[in-house]
Amino acid sequence: MKDNDNVEVLLLLVCLVGVVAFLAFSLATLNLGAAIEERNEELPDVESLIQQRQGLAVTKEQLQNQGKALQAKVDYLRGKISAEEKKIASLQKELPDHTLAEDIARLRKELADLEQRKVQLAQDRKDLNVFRWRDFKGATTLTNPLFLDCQSSAAIIYPGKKALRLSDLNKKEALKDTIGGHDGIVLLVRPDGFKTFAAAFEKAKKTGLTLAYEPVNAEWQLELAY
């Protein structure tokens, strides 16, 4: 009985081992299939891999080229800075500090002188266009002249800067109220004021005062106060 029991137990164990082996094989097969299926979903195709590799190669080459260019710039700047530092050091050895200070002071003085000359030239240029009453030859023999600045549309009376338009000059006694106390009339003719001058000249003749006239440029400024 014992031998039979042992045989049965042995057979039972063999069966159990077979079942376990079958289950293990089945599970392994299922896991492998799942793994293959999962890998097939994630892995790209060959063409995509080639394109990606080519893209990475191009990007790498671009980065390398950019790095080389940047390094070249850095090397150039370092060389330039080094050269400038050597130049400065050489100048400092050749020129003592007091000489540099004297040169700077001299240059500043020259600059100040130039600025002063610039201001003076501007003032002189302005004065070239400013005329006072004794600058006109016709007024040199007069002690209290009346000036008529004949412009395109009016005659400006000095002193006082009163404007007489052509319509005013056409009146019979246009200058009657302005000649009191004056010993002469000087008519200044602007380039566009000949028509006004002609009308003013006819009225000025009737006053009996000494007359004179002179051409005046358009940009001239008049300072005719006594």
pLDDT digits (tens, 9 = 90+) for 87-102: 666 666 665 555 566 7
Neighbour-count burial for 52-72, b at 16+ CB within 10 Å, e otherwise: eeeeeeeeeeeeeeeeeeeee
Given a contact cutoff of 8 angstroms between Cβ atoms, the answer to whether 134 and 172 are in contact is no
At residue 67, the pLDDT reads 59
- Same domain for 109 and 168? no
- List the chain residues with pLDDT less than 70: 1-85, 87-101, 103-105, 107-108, 110-115, 117-131, 133-134, 138, 225-226
Domain boundary among 128, 152, 180: 128
Does residue 206 sit within a domain? yes
- Same domain for 203 and 215? yes
| Cα–Cα dist 203/138, whole Å | 18
- Same domain for 124 and 190? no
At residue 143, the pLDDT reads 84
- Same domain for 201 and 138? yes
Nearest to 150 by CA among 203, 100, 98: 203
At residue 44, the pLDDT reads 44
pLDDT digits (tens, 9 = 90+) for 19-58: 444 444 444 444 444 444 444 444 445 465 555 555 545 5
At residue 170, the pLDDT reads 81
* Structural domain for 216, as ranges: 131-223
Given a contact cutoff of 8 angstroms between Cβ atoms, the answer to whether 158 and 179 are in contact is no
Given a contact cutoff of 8 angstroms between Cβ atoms, the answer to whether 144 and 226 are in contact is yes
Task: Specify the number of domains making up the chain.
Answer: 3
At residue 95, the pLDDT reads 57
Whole-model pTM? Answer: 0.44
At residue 219, the pLDDT reads 82
